[in-house]
Structure 1
Amino acid sequence: MSFPLDGVSLDAPLLDGPRLRPKAGGAADSLVVLLHGYGADGRDLIDLGNAWADLLPHAAFVSPHAPEPCGQAPVGRQWFPLTFRDPHELPRGAQAAAPLLRAFLDVELAKLALPPERLALVGFSQGAMMALKVGLAEDLRPAAVVAFSGMWVDASAPHPAPVSNPPPVLLLHGEDDEVIPAQALFGSAKALAAAGVPVEWHLSPGLGHGIDDAELAIAGSFLAQSLGGRSHGAR
């Protein structure tokens, strides 16, 4: 699962969105990229950075707006179109959107002079699909991937290929999710484990398509553990 950057058109829109500097001040020792869901934009998730600032005081946060206007939410954005009719649109859509997101990650890491192992990807819903798609690419290997209320779109393949040198993955899902049923959590976890990915999961009782305080705490601890220590060196 690699995404050649020469496949990104020079006319493609550049991704950007709200940012948070490290709470501790100074140079960032890690980068957390927050990927919003279908019909939202980067402002929807950037406050997660404030929620995790005490756990990750040296981390920078960025929440890019997805590249396309949303077909079903005029003021929102989408990583790829959804018709809810084509059973193949999720893997195809995520694959098509991946090169632009990967190019954004490369630029952001270069700005901060950080290697990929100091990167964490966090996504919600469609953004979770993108976080898993790009985060499990063989040529990236971030520190961690966190997916709220989403799924691994490649789990639908009859025999998902083993993932080379995968990062740890955390899946979180509401038991009463009305948009992406909780069964997607179990299917994704099973397929990821079969592909050799170290995966943890949490199911939130009574939660719909959203993020609750318990999930925030679990995800924050997971990120702090994955990015723990200033292994990139004194800066």
Structure 2
Amino acid sequence: MSFPLDGVSLDEPILDGPRLRPRNGGAPDSLVVLLHGYGADGRDLIDLGNAWADLLPGTAFISPHAPDPCGEAPVGRQWFPLSFRDPHELARGAEAAAPVLAAFLEVELAKYDLPPSRLALVGFSQGAMMALKIATTAAVAPAAVVAYSGLWVEAAGGVPRDLQLHTRPPILLVHGTEDEVIPAQALFASARGLAEAGVPVEWHLSQGLGHGIDDGGLAHGGAFLAEFLAPKSR
């Protein structure tokens, strides 16, 4: 992904988590990385791979555990500390966590001999923040991003006028109308900011849903991934 890796060593395993091999039994033709939310771990999202396996039979899925223990959930993990008391902490936290995640993505793509154009990122909540951060700052864009119940952190305090995006991958934002953790307004702020920055963005609101993923959001996410990860000759 060619993200700055200062201070990150590739000599040791960076991140790891549950994995699913392609349903068709062959070598992966694409990779979907699932990024969990604050206080969870990789086990929280790996079943999305099973839900989408028929749509993406040649895709490998991995759901890495975030690098740090979560202070608010002793058995969970976090991509960065989170309090929501400081409007700038999201941008600072995602910026600090991005190099480790980017290094992990580089290792995984090399393992399967896949280019970034065969990678999709799916995130939930804090994981969605990380997916959107990586997707718009890597030197080469992933194929697609699906962000559930999250936020583009650049939009948290108002998108800077001088913001320069490196890449503009297609993005799907999905949110519940009754989200009590990250209000649905975050979807509209993110969609507006991304669109103003020239990013192709779609969105879906799940009526009556809180902080989670329902069948409608799952179906929209799977169809979006299948559109951009359809098998291509390499």
**Within 5 A, what are the aligned runs for 1:1-235?**
3-9=3-9, 14-155=14-155, 156=157, 157-159=159-161, 161-232=163-234
Deviation per residue, 1:44-72 (Å, 9 max, x gap): 00000000000000000000000000010
**1:203–1:19 distance in 2 versus 1, CA, 3 Å:** same
Tell me, in whole angstroms, the C-alpha distance in 1 between the residues paired with 2:208 and 2:162.
31
Deviation per residue, 1:147-172 (Å, 9 max, x gap): 00000001133326243441100000
Q: Percent identity?
A: 74
Tell me, in whole angstroms, the C-alpha distance in 2 between the residues paired with 1:66 and 1:225.
28
**1:231–1:165 distance in 2 versus 1, CA, 3 Å:** farther
Tell me, in whole angstroms, the C-alpha distance in 2 between the residues paired with 1:10 and 1:62.
18
Tell me, in whole angstroms, the C-alpha distance in 2 between the residues paired with 1:3 and 1:180.
28
- Aligned with 1:5: secondary structure? coil
- Aligned with 2:137: secondary structure? coil
Tell me, in whole angstroms, the C-alpha distance in 1 between the residues paired with 2:207 and 2:66.
30
Letter in 2 for 1:139: A
| Superposition deviation, residue 11 in structure 1 | 9.1
- Aligned with 2:120: secondary structure? strand
**1:21–1:187 distance in 2 versus 1, CA, 3 Å:** same
On the 8 A contact 1:162/1:196 being kept in 2, the answer is no
Tell me, in whole angstroms, the C-alpha distance in 1 between the residues paired with 2:145 and 2:9.
27
Report the TM-score when normalising by structure 1.
0.94
| Superposition deviation, residue 8 in structure 1 | 1.6
Instruction: State the superposition RMSD in angstroms.
Output: 1.7
Aligned length: 232
On the 8 A contact 1:162/1:194 being kept in 2, the answer is no
Tell me, in whole angstroms, the C-alpha distance in 1 between the residues paired with 2:123 and 2:10.
26
On the 8 A contact 2:206/2:217 being kept in 1, the answer is yes
Tell me, in whole angstroms, the C-alpha distance in 1 between the residues paired with 2:45 and 2:215.
14
| Superposition deviation, residue 145 in structure 1 | 0.6
Letter in 2 for 1:124: F
On the 8 A contact 2:3/2:138 being kept in 1, the answer is no
**1:10–1:54 distance in 2 versus 1, CA, 3 Å:** closer
Deviation per residue, 1:24-52 (Å, 9 max, x gap): 01100000000000000000000000000
Tell me, in whole angstroms, the C-alpha distance in 2 between the residues paired with 1:162 and 1:119.
22
